[in-house]
Amino acid sequence: IDTSSVLLLPDLEKFREGTILVSERFGFKYDVFRSYTAARDTKGTIKTLHKYDSEEPQLYAAALAYFTSSTEILKEAGDEVEKVLKKIDEDGLMASLQVIQTLSVTHVATMGLVKRYLSTVVQREQDEIANNRRLIDIYRKDTTTKLGEIEELSTTPVSFSATRCSTCDMTLDLPIVHFLCKPSHHQRCLKELECPICAPKNATVRQVKKAQEESASRHGLFWDDLQKS
């Protein structure tokens, strides 16, 4: 007998426990979760969410929709709703606008719940803005320092006195590559045309810059969509 037939039999007989057992046996975790929500079994829903959350993080979005589907279910869920919202927010499982839309679909979520969620989002945004401003100040100072170094390099001769390769620590012999950041290397020790000592720091700066650009774009889209909704 094939899998679909095995799954169909309990459904035809309206044997929910059988459907759940078969779904678990075949690894259909979302179907297990859906069986509990369809039966409006909030305790079973919460238990399943905790059981499979690490394997099926998308269950949190479904759980939020279920918990706010009726006043009765919202009451049964209790503080589990706040925990689900916190998990969604911390792990970025849903965009903030999606959460607001989910909470507002049925008009079941209380103003207090929505307000607390928005307060959390706004606080996180403010923290990120403050952190970005600190980084901007640091980068501005670094930029000023680097510009001074560039000016010095363009007007003052640079001498290289290293006798050992900064990569392998062996005595330098030709061909040698000197970097203006001062390290010297055997050409054969270099895999790329970038100082291997400075490369990790440069990569970090590039990643931070990319993250800031993505974050700025995400924040802008959220507030634009929120104003339009």
* Cα→Cα distances 171→155, 176, 180, Å: 30, 11, 20
Percentage of the residues of the chain whose pLDDT score is greater than 90 = 30
Please check the confidence at residue 225 and state whether its pLDDT lies above 60.
no
- For 186, the 3-state DSSP assignment is strand
Positive or negative: CA dihedral 28, 94, 127, 119: negative
- pLDDT confidence of residue 10: 46
pLDDT band per the 50, 70, 90 thresholds, residue 75: very high
Calculate mean pLDDT across residues 103-131: 88
* Counts for the chain of helices (H) and strands (E), in that order: 10, 2
SS3 of 91-132: the string is HCCCCHHHHHHHHHHCCCCCHHHHHHHHHHHHHHHHHHHHHH
Position 205, amino acid:
V
Which pLDDT score is estimated for 206?
84
- Sorted by sequence, the CB contacts under 8 Å of residue 35 that are 6+ apart come out as 16, 19, 20, 23
HSE-CB for 98 with a 13 A CA cutoff:
12
Backbone dihedral angles phi then psi of residue 17, each to the nearest 5 degrees: -60, -35
